[in-house]
Structure 1
Amino acid sequence: MALTTTAPRIDTVRLRGLFPGIAVSVLVAVTAQFLAEHYGAPAMLMALLLGLALNFLAEPGTRTVTGVEFSAKTVLRIGVALLGARISVQMLADLGGRMILLVIAGVVVTILFALLAARLFGRGWRLALLTGGSVAICGASAAMAIAAVLPRTDKSERNLAFTVLSVTVLSTVAMVVYPPLSKALDFTPLESAVFLGGTIHDVAQVVGAGFSISPEVGETATLVKLIRVSMLAPVVLIFSLVIRAGGLADAAPDARRPPLLPVFVMGFLALAILNSAGLIPGGIAVLAESLSRWALLVAIAAVGIKTSLARMVDVGGSAVALIVAETLVLASFILIGVHMLS
């Protein structure tokens, strides 16, 4: 009897400890969404900036620390896993083999360039994988997923917050600049869609850029973007395998060994397989997409709360140059590829 009464009490105590931090993260996410809907600002960017202003809530000894940590890690993994419900094999068939190969090649080239450029800029491989993967795949969502498998150091949270902030700002700039550029280059609707979906970092900005040209471009650009999102699971898995095989997890004294196949990646793949098989009803897929978006918004709010703005400034100009260079390389590669295929 003692065992049956003690376990629920322990769970209750843990939930009470998590609640303040989770509540704060959710409140920041809701506020960010309100600002996004009423003032047109990117929700992810607003969540991060609002979170940064509340960094004092992550100081040791405050009641919110445990819940904020939970939101930044566990809620993040849930959000990434639910992204799988949007992916299907049919998406790939609809676009055509050449365009799919171009999009996949853009992801690979961007990540390889990030590793090379990081050395030239004097940055470490962790920041290279984090920024390169986020630029190549799906912005803030990819950054948070990749950060979850990288060995932890005292700079992990700072680098993640910097990456999310940078890719969100760059994605917003691209949303404004790329549509006029595609018109100036006299792209067809398909070419415009591949260019926008293959280069802009975040899904929301791809949608905004595509539909600013036409509904046809908007729908196809979103499809292209989701193909990039589908690269998230294999890329994260490859990163995890390489880190393990190379013994890179032990490069820092306080680093922790990442799992071989993270549970959230398995969840992502499982949902993608189920969706490809037509086993996820349309309503459930829409619900999973909404839950994923909210979970990621709550997670990035928590990341902001955990991150000191003063420490973010310490990242340095070379990190900014690195992520801008990655963005330009991806855009140039897709532009050249679209031109050659046309």
Structure 2
Amino acid sequence: MSDLSTRVSEFYGAHWRGFMVSVVVAVAAQFLSEHYGAPAMLMALLLGIAFHFLAEDAAGACKAGIDFTARTVLRFGVALLGVRISVELMVGLGANLILVVVLGVIFTILFGLLAARLLRRGWRFGLLTGGSVAICGASAAMAISAVLPKNEQSERNLIFTVLSVTVLSTLAMIIYPILTQTFDFNDEVAGVFLGGTIHDVAQVVGAGFSISNEAGEVATLVKLIRVAMLAPVVLVISILVRRYAEDTDNMGKRPPILPMFVIGFLGFASLNSLGMIPAVVADGMASLSRWALLVSIAAVGMKTSLKRILEVGGQAIAMIVLETLFIAMFVLLGVLAFGH
């Protein structure tokens, strides 16, 4: 017992400062979001970048805690996302529209890989950007990054992707509702389009409910279908990466076939589908998940300098914009074909 308590004490002593700094940044980001309407994830990211100096010093008091928060707290938050998923929610939408959403996710990831190859970017970057655009923005970017082999560009690419999808998602929240009026979509079809194309959950909710309550509810449901694909996508990436890494020396340490946070995600989704998680508990866990992701993205921001983000280049910006346009066009054509 004494050895265990000593280890716990050492772990706490090494990590609490970095973790608490990340919490303070996340709370400040939430305050700015609630009072000025800015996306909380974006604010946490930008504020985190401003405190990059805390993570620069390898011997600094905060570095270990920031690393822990950016890695472990992130995975905890992704696992808890599973409580928002249930099979019952998806049944009422209809097979055709669900197929459009699912295929949109798959083809957007494949498009990201193709674009990366054509623009001579690494396959990691193609998976990271394509997956984040296809599934759920910043949350997907962080989850996919967690299972990709690390290299010297990993953190820079992650921070760029999170920043880009958050900005693009905010623009989509403003522009896409106007498109639904232009095409004269009814509330259900508008909700499918918004939920199937906008990157982050918060912006989906904002765009959907700006049209009507029904559009907002459908948009949120469709978005959760995309979120539900996070676990299988991460699993497939994990398996393919491990197989590909066998013949590659510079890939870094290979991730496990099924990471624990994916198992947690699937477990919570299954329990919620079976009605074994009370609504009040599910709401609390969903809120905790959101805070864990907000705190972890603040830590991710601290780990990456603004100078390194700017080194990504115009091709990377073009890639993520093209991926955003691709999923928008794919889902738009799908709802035009099946939505009326």
Superposed pair shares fold, TM > 0.5: yes
- Please report the TM-score for the alignment, with normalisation by the length of structure 1: 0.97
The secondary structure found in structure 2 opposite 1:17 is: helix
After TM superposition, give the deviation of residue 7 of structure 1 in Å.
2.7
> Equivalents in 2 of 1:126, 1:207: separation in Å?
30
Aligned residue type for 2:98: I
> Equivalents in 1 of 2:20, 2:165: separation in Å?
26
Q: In the superposition, relative to structure 1, how do residues 248 and 207 fare at CA in structure 2: closer, same or farther (>3 Å)?
A: farther
> Equivalents in 2 of 1:180, 1:248: separation in Å?
49
> Equivalents in 1 of 2:183, 2:7: separation in Å?
63
Partner of 1:38: 35
Q: Which moved more, 1:87-96 or 1:202-211?
A: 87-96
Unaligned 5+ segments in structure 1 are none
Which among 312, 315, 340 is matched to residue 315 of structure 1? 312
After TM superposition, give the deviation of residue 256 of structure 1 in Å.
1.0
Alignment of 1:231-270 (within 5 A): 231-247=229-245, 250-252=248-250, 255-270=252-267
Partner of 1:276: 273
1:160-195 deviations in whole A, cap 9, x for unaligned? Answer: 000000000000000000001110111111110010
Which among 177, 187, 200 is matched to residue 185 of structure 2? 187
Partner of 1:335: 332
1:138-158 deviations in whole A, cap 9, x for unaligned? Answer: 000000000000001111111
Partner of 1:47: 44
Partner of 2:296: 299
After TM superposition, give the deviation of residue 246 of structure 1 in Å.
1.9
The answer on whether the counterparts of 1:104 and 1:228 sit within 8 Å (CA) in structure 2 is: yes
Partner of 1:168: 166
Which among 152, 155, 169 is matched to residue 153 of structure 2? 155
Partner of 2:20: 23
The answer on whether the counterparts of 1:193 and 1:217 sit within 8 Å (CA) in structure 2 is: yes
Which among 92, 95, 104 is matched to residue 94 of structure 1? 92
The secondary structure found in structure 1 opposite 2:256 is: coil
Q: In the superposition, relative to structure 1, how do residues 249 and 303 fare at CA in structure 2: closer, same or farther (>3 Å)?
A: farther
After TM superposition, give the deviation of residue 250 of structure 1 in Å.
3.6
Report whether the alignment pairs 1:286 with 2:283: yes
After TM superposition, give the deviation of residue 94 of structure 1 in Å.
1.6
After TM superposition, give the deviation of residue 211 of structure 1 in Å.
0.5
1:262-318 deviations in whole A, cap 9, x for unaligned? Answer: 000000000000000000000010001000000000000000000011011111110
Partner of 1:105: 103
Q: How many residue pairs end up in the alignment?
A: 338
After TM superposition, give the deviation of residue 247 of structure 1 in Å.
2.3
Aligned residue type for 1:141: S
1:55-113 deviations in whole A, cap 9, x for unaligned? Answer: 00001221000000000000000000000001001011021111110000000110011
> Equivalents in 1 of 2:6, 2:188: separation in Å?
58
Which among 138, 155, 170 is matched to residue 140 of structure 1? 138
Which among 109, 112, 116 is matched to residue 114 of structure 1? 112
> Equivalents in 2 of 1:297, 1:56: separation in Å?
20
> Equivalents in 1 of 2:189, 2:293: separation in Å?
30
Report whether the alignment pairs 1:208 with 2:206: yes
> Equivalents in 2 of 1:187, 1:196: separation in Å?
11
Unaligned 5+ segments in structure 2 are none
The secondary structure found in structure 2 opposite 1:259 is: coil
The secondary structure found in structure 2 opposite 1:148 is: helix
- Return structure 1 stretches of 4+ with deviation > 6 angstroms: none
Partner of 2:83: 85
Aligned residue type for 1:99: L
> Equivalents in 2 of 1:20, 1:251: separation in Å?
36
The answer on whether the counterparts of 1:28 and 1:51 sit within 8 Å (CA) in structure 2 is: yes
Q: In the superposition, relative to structure 1, how do residues 277 and 140 fare at CA in structure 2: closer, same or farther (>3 Å)?
A: same
Q: In the superposition, relative to structure 1, how do residues 260 and 13 fare at CA in structure 2: closer, same or farther (>3 Å)?
A: same
Partner of 1:326: 323
